[in-house]
Amino acid sequence: MHSISDERNWLTWLVKVRILILMVLLAIELAVIRLTPSPLPILPFLTGMVLWFVLSLFFLFLVSVWNEHRLQAILQVLADLAMVTLVVHVTGGIDSSLNFLYPLIIVVACMLLPRAWGYLSAALAFILFGTVIELDYYLVIPSYSNSHPKLKALQVVIFVNLFAYFAIAYLAGLLMSKLRQVDVQLKDASGALENLQALHENIVQSMSGGVITTGLNGRITLVNRAAQQMLEISEAELHGRSVGDLFQDPLPHFGVARADAEVRYRAANGFRKTFRVMVSALNLSARGDLGFVYSFDDLTEIRRLEREVRMQDRLAAVGRLAAAIAHEIRNPLTSIAGSVAMLSDVPALNSEERHLLQIVIRESNRLNNIITDFLAYSRGKQYRFERVNLIPLLQDTLTLLEHRLTAESAGIKLERSFPKSEAWVLADGDKLKQVFWNFCENAVRAMKNKGGSLTVALAERGPDWEMSFADTGPGINPQQTEKIFEPFQSNFEGGTGLGLAIVYQIVQAHEGKVWARSEVGKGSSFVLRLRRMEYADAHQHDHVQGAAAGTSSASASAGAALAASGGGNRG
């Protein structure tokens, strides 16, 4: 059975073909009348053709406004049989050259209607054709025939047409039955193929790992949802791009000994991610290799945790060493410094000797400062957590820094971006000031010679407050980014390399997140996130109050992880 849209299309097609055939027949018959002597009456013929043409236009209109397509098909078949009978009669009856139109109508009936209608149309065509011939023969109606065959010859013609019509009905019905079966099988196969394709697409789209397929030229042809989320780019933006241009490192090649690799990726927001990418050939047995399939997983969090574990191990080692060696170094250092100070007061020393003693005193003081910072880093810290507003803390820090920069004529401009007047958190205000000052001090030291600007901004990021300290200094190379908050990683002359390590300890105690982003030649940005007061739950509150009463050692892991995706340690 045809669907409603198929029946409508078939009826529309039938009307258009009928109009075309009528125009061709009219042109041929008129040409025959003009070029050959013929008794064909022009007026009845033209009247019949015009009537048939008008009926066709009426059926064309009816298809668009009436949804009973089966009834319309019956009406069209019956109307065509009647009009063909009329045209056959006015064009000579038994001598007419248009009686071939009956088989066409029978075929159309088999196409549009059930098989029984094919035989019914053949019977009606036989009856109508036989009736016209008989009426012409006995002159019951005006005859336009040139020949006058005998009755037996006439009967033979009629019964030959009867056999022909039913043979055509049988063959056309058989053919259409086979075509309908094939159509049903094709639709079933198409439906199964669509279901299979949908299943495969759903499988690919539902995978937790990213999948990208490309052609042999490396251009992207398909991206699943997980890949779009990992890359933070829509499929429309990725389609047609070269897959090698997405990543900062070369992708693995199919066919080599190792078909996987870890590659870096820079997201639109500037964060770097690490992916493990595997490649395989997109192969069809009948057509060979069509392209490549790249599957990848996000290892950013795993690598971050690995770096944090390594850092915690180092911090624990530093903590154990601190108590053992700090006093052992500080006591003889104090003796050395005191002895050298007494020697510097000896009157017999010349200028060169006094200069050498001053160097010893200065270096002793610097070494003492390093030990002081080291002890401050390794000792347990006490915290007083309370409800504090971040805006005054930032303003106080920046005001002090601004006065200092003015006094030193450093040529560094401070810019503030605080869209909110209040930003409440549960924190130790003095310790946060130490964090803010360390970030600002590092930025000033990075821009000390050439000047620049330091932009301090605060914004809401989901349940957190995000503070950023962005400078326009020389930036930090990627190799240093992974070690940014590790102790003794200073890039400044005279720095101990413990400033940002202490910052990391403080942020951990506040269950916050801290990271840095940097690009060589474009400056660095340190970012700190703390949970907003309204999102701090009872468990968090109890945990922080408990931390306020106790101490946190250098090796304590206090919660929120370090997002080590930024620049290098400069403190």
- Which one of 357, 378, 399 terminates a domain? 378
- Which one of 298, 320, 342 terminates a domain? 298
In a domain, 161, yes or no: yes
Boundaries of domain holding 312: 304-378
Q: What DSSP designation does 5 have?
A: H
| Residue environment code for 469-486, b if the CB has 16+ CB neighbours within 10 A, otherwise e | bbbbbbbbeeebbbbbbb
How far apart are alpha carbons 69 and 63 in whole angstroms? 7
In a domain, 558, yes or no: no
How far apart are alpha carbons 274 and 231 in whole angstroms? 11
pTM of the model: 0.44
In a domain, 440, yes or no: yes
Q: Give yes or no: residues 87 and 167 share one domain.
A: yes
- For the chain, the domain total comes to 4
How far apart are alpha carbons 484 and 476 in whole angstroms? 10
In a domain, 197, yes or no: no
In a domain, 42, yes or no: yes
Q: Give yes or no: residues 277 and 173 share one domain.
A: no
Q: Give yes or no: residues 165 and 228 share one domain.
A: no
How far apart are alpha carbons 545 and 387 in whole angstroms? 12
Q: Give yes or no: residues 88 and 164 share one domain.
A: yes
Confidence at residue 531, expressed as pLDDT on a 0 to 100 scale: 92
Q: What DSSP designation does 550 have?
A: S
Cα separation values, 416 from 46, 455, 470, Å: 92, 6, 11
| CATH code of the domain in which 454 resides | 3.30.565.10
In a domain, 202, yes or no: no
Q: Give yes or no: residues 238 and 156 share one domain.
A: no
H or E stretch at 198: helix 151-206
Cα separation values, 565 from 308, 484, 523, Å: 12, 9, 15
The region that residue 509 occupies, defined by phi over 0 for left and psi between -120 and 50 for alpha, beta otherwise, is: alpha
Q: Give yes or no: residues 308 and 294 share one domain.
A: no
- What are the residues facing 280 on neighbouring strands? 293
The region that residue 324 occupies, defined by phi over 0 for left and psi between -120 and 50 for alpha, beta otherwise, is: alpha
Confidence at residue 376, expressed as pLDDT on a 0 to 100 scale: 66
Q: Give yes or no: residues 35 and 140 share one domain.
A: yes
In a domain, 568, yes or no: no
How far apart are alpha carbons 371 and 564 in whole angstroms? 27
Confidence at residue 546, expressed as pLDDT on a 0 to 100 scale: 44
| CATH code of the domain in which 269 resides | 3.30.450.20
Q: Which of 476, 498, 470 is nearest to 486 (CA)?
A: 498
How far apart are alpha carbons 49 and 101 in whole angstroms? 14
List of E strands, 135-250? 210-215, 220-223
From first to last of the 571 residues of the chain, give the pLDDT tens digit: 444 456 677 777 777 787 788 788 778 777 776 776 666 677 787 888 888 888 888 877 887 788 787 888 888 888 888 888 888 888 877 777 788 888 888 888 888 888 888 889 889 988 988 888 888 877 777 777 777 777 777 778 888 888 888 898 888 888 888 887 887 888 878 778 777 777 777 788 888 888 998 988 889 988 898 988 888 888 888 888 888 888 888 888 876 655 788 898 988 877 888 999 998 888 776 667 788 899 999 888 888 888 878 877 776 776 667 666 776 777 787 778 778 778 777 777 788 877 888 888 888 887 777 777 666 666 656 788 999 999 999 999 999 898 888 888 888 899 999 988 899 999 999 899 999 999 998 889 888 878 889 999 999 988 999 999 999 988 888 777 677 787 766 666 555 567 788 888 889 889 899 988 888 888 889 999 999 987 654 445 444 444 443 333 333 333 333 333 333 334 4
Q: Give yes or no: residues 13 and 151 share one domain.
A: yes
CA 192 to chain centre: 27
In a domain, 112, yes or no: yes
Q: Give yes or no: residues 212 and 343 share one domain.
A: no
Confidence at residue 420, expressed as pLDDT on a 0 to 100 scale: 86
Q: Give yes or no: residues 121 and 24 share one domain.
A: yes
H or E stretch at 471: strand 464-471
- Which one of 188, 223, 248 terminates a domain? 188
Count of C-beta atoms within a 10 Å radius of residue 179: 12
Q: Give yes or no: residues 414 and 452 share one domain.
A: yes
How far apart are alpha carbons 326 and 340 in whole angstroms? 21
CB 452 within 8 A of CB 522: no
Angle at 412 between CA 409 and CA 414, to 5 degrees: 120
**3-class SS of residue 35:** helix
The region that residue 147 occupies, defined by phi over 0 for left and psi between -120 and 50 for alpha, beta otherwise, is: beta
Q: Give yes or no: residues 20 and 119 share one domain.
A: yes
